Structure 1
Amino acid sequence: MSLMATKPKARPGPAVPAGSTGGSTKRRSLWVRIRRDRTLLLLMAPGIVYFLVFQYLALFGNVIAFKEYMPFLGIKDSPWVGFANFRALFTEPAFWDAALNTVVLALVQLVFYFPVPLALALLLHSLVRGRVRKFVQSVVYLPHFISWVIVVALFQQVLGADGVLNGVAGGADGHLVDVIGNPDLFRPLMVLELIWKECGWGTIIFLAALAQIDEGLYEAAALDAAGPWRRFWHVTLPGLRAVIFLLLILRLGDILSVGFEQILLQRDAFGPDVAEVIDTYVFYHGIRDQNWGIAAAAALFKGVIGACLVFTANKIAHRMGEQGVYR
């Protein structure tokens, strides 16, 4: 008789219909992940509710662009006019002037503001270390948390007719510097204010991307006698390429929103000829003049153009081998 123990044969389990286990397993794993991450999901809930209510549900209000909206009738009972609001909008010279001002200001901001956070991030990453770096970061981040009302007031106190600059210049030779209210300086002033307020905050993502680049690549490039410029071109820039594309696509999607609050606070000082943009056009025509349908048509037109820019830029990013915003 053999002394070797024999393993008992496993009993076959009950037959499971094909395709039934996959769905139940997925549902079970989903609930397991939800229970595991329930604290994080609860923290996300307020933000999700905000976007659902004020971003996605609000999209249904765009139907006003196709109606002669009357507040006392409501959206449902206001008469339907089709594309009449768009025809009236596109035949109004004031709208095209506002659109032209918006495009020019957006391009100026894109060219002169977008590289500044990258340059500041490179400076902080390569030249400053330790406590000094943290101090500089805190200083440049701080203006982001200041409202545009205070920022505009500060610039007016410095560059206004009775500001610090004119006080110094007037005391020296009596020559007054005309900045606030000068139409020729409107766009440079808007870009300067934007850089002062937001460039520090814009460095956060670039600093995070720079921290992910392997330091060994810089050491290898230095051993190959690569100078600072070649190390930037062949090591730093490829490491930041995906982030630059992502931020550029997001910026293009919001390119026609050139700063409503910033411009609204200074529109009267510079005049609507140079300071009227699509957002202020919508505000004055919709709120002040109560042309709700035309204002909604202008806002919808801006949104469609922004969406087209995002889709186009994302396709270009895919063709250049980058992931973009979505696949």
Structure 2
Amino acid sequence: MKEIKVKDASPLCTIVPDIEPGIRQTATGSEDHKCSSICVKSTPEIEKKYVHRVYDAIAPHFSSTRFAKWPKVAAFLESLPTGSLILDAGCGNGKYLDLNSSCYFIGCDISPSLIKICADKGHEVLVADAVNLPYRTNFGDAAISIAVLHHLSTENRRKQAIEELVRVVKKGGLVLITVWAVEQEDKSLLTKWTPLAEKYVEEWIGPGSPRVRGPSSPTLESIPETEENGLGGHPKVSRESLTGNTLHSTCSTSQNEDDSLVSEDGRSQQEYFVPWHLPYHRAEVSGASASALANGLAKKDDKKGAVVYNRYYHVFGEGELERLVSGMGNAVIVDKFYDKSNWCIILEKTIQG
């Protein structure tokens, strides 16, 4: 199998602001729309630096910690008909690519280092960007995007990624999406995440930029995917049984009632740097960490004996994921639920094409 690499997209046009409601477009409106669409697919520097480069550097260590399957994701995959073709967009180390032996899996990820790990396991994978998937329309029976959208730094890019997932599945095909929630179950963990500083605002394009924050914004703790919880068998389930508890059953405190999640201007914190600690003995295996330290991409923590990388996250508030798909004319939400500090939705494609 040949590995296909997708280079970072370079800006091809001048960024144009969103048109305000009630303002008529000029004759160049269609050109601006086309230009804006191209820019959505152009990766912002903050994603290149704090997502792409970080995951390339930590790939082996990251992979060694990602082996357990989330029960709800496993249940979804095992509920699909025999012979289904399934795309895992943002497949990481490929832990879901062999989950259901009666189905066919293909995967993609933006990290060449993670894709190499998948390819070495014999998976059918390639390097690709979630907002510009290199697959034909209507090719698959289902698609999943697990813990991926929160690494995209603008609302337009997050919408585009969802549209791409829907595009590549057939009419009637299902799409499962999970993202980290700002409403975390265990509030005691919220101590080490770092809200983005104002200097990073210029690295955004389009809407969805970080909101202005007060000078004493709180810091939050790194939260793992908590994959260790609930391991075991995953029986076949129906689509209706995937929801489990109601949305509020495991998240009783709203973000507006929890001061640790609200900035001084009264708005929720949603843009963060989440640390990844790469042990020194692993960091010494390759020159990636030495380069990262020299370039300021990482820093040393001698007390913990690790090289620390920051990963960019946009954590989702309740209802935000649903709002992103509310205007889509070719898909409907058939399920939505909160699971282990993640917001999750299942979409069904309603129109061919």
**TM-score computed with the length of structure 2 as normaliser:** 0.21
Q: Determine which structure has the larger helix proportion and give its number.
A: 1
Higher relative contact order (Cα pairs below 8 Å, separated by 6+ residues): 1
Q: Which has the larger radius of gyration?
A: 1
